[in-house]
């Protein structure tokens, strides 16, 4: 797909989820945002579909405790581990779908050696090394402005941050994606080290700063 089509789909998804979270009373948490639940019409306008797992979010509650449901690869860590469901759980899932849209890869990726890893982790490994544009699918028809495509990847990386507090709201995501420019940088906190981190990873983590500044053209979350 050409960049203008991908951009239209991304903004349509974001608007739909923002409406569920802020435009309805009580708010609705979809719980199963994934590529197959985003339908496209003849004009490639995105429609959020399949509300079979949706939950209401009562006003004033920090989270809903519920049995874990959803699709592997798209489920937010705090929800998968503790059953704590919030609007930010949908934000995580949206970030995964946005990465799929930008990279042309699936939520789970397989290596030739038979190993698999999560798309969000692969994308973050490139972003933290300053290779954000390497996330974007090679040979994209009619690619967009470099800074704009980079912004979309960074938004996806922030949405898929494993720490809930680091993710933006869908309302913020819509504003960032729709903006022609932004007044400040997007700060993406470092991710926690995995349990199986090796010595080199630990040493790098200790010597690095707690956040990454990715330029003055992206809105600070």
Q: What b/e string do you get for 8-22 counting C-beta neighbours within 10 Å, with b at 16 or more?
A: bbbbbbbbbbbbbbe
Angstrom CA distances, 41 to 116, 141, 143, stand at: 33, 20, 22
H-type helices in the chain, by residue range? Answer: 3-18, 77-82, 87-103, 119-128, 146-159, 170-178, 199-207
Q: What b/e string do you get for 163-173 counting C-beta neighbours within 10 Å, with b at 16 or more?
A: ebebbbbbbbb
Q: Which of 32, 41, 42, 50 is catalytic?
A: 32
Residues 154, 143: contact at Cβ < 8 Å? no
Sign of CA dihedral 73, 156, 127, 82: negative
Residue 50 known to be catalytic? no
Check residue 149 and report its DSSP letter: H
Residue 159, helix vs strand vs coil: helix
Nearest to 3 by CA among 147, 103, 149: 149
Q: Which residues contact 184 (CB under 8 A, 6 or more apart)?
A: 216, 218, 219, 220
Note the residue count of the chain: 221
Q: Which positions are catalytic? A: 32
């Amino acid at each position: 797909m050409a960049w203008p089509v991908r951009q239209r789909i991304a903004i349509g998804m974001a608007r739909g989820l923002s409406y569920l979270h802020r435009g309805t009373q009580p708010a609705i948490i979809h719980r199963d945002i994934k590529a197959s639940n985003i339908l496209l019409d003849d004009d490639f306008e995105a429609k959020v579909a399949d509300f079979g797992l949706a939950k209401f979010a009562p006003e004033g509650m920090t989270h809903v405790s519920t049995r874990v449901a959803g699709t592997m690869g798209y489920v937010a860590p705090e929800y998968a581990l503790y059953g704590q469901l919030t609007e930010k759980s949908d934000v995580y899932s949206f970030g995964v779908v946005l990465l799929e849209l930008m990279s042309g890869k699936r939520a789970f990726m397989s290596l030739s050696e038979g190993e698999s890893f999560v798309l969000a982790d692969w994308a973050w490994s490139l972003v933290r090394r300053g290779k954000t544009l390497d996330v974007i699918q090679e040979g994209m028809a009619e690619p967009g402005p470099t800074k704009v495509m980079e912004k979309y990847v960074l938004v996806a990386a922030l949405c898929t941050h494993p720490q809930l507090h680091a993710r933006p709201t869908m309302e913020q995501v819509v504003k960032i994606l729709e903006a022609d420019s932004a007044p400040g940088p997007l700060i993406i906190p470092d991710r926690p080290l995995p349990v199986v981190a090796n010595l080199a990873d630990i040493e790098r983590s200790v010597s690095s700063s707690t956040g990454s500044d990715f330029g003055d053209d992206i809105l600070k979350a």
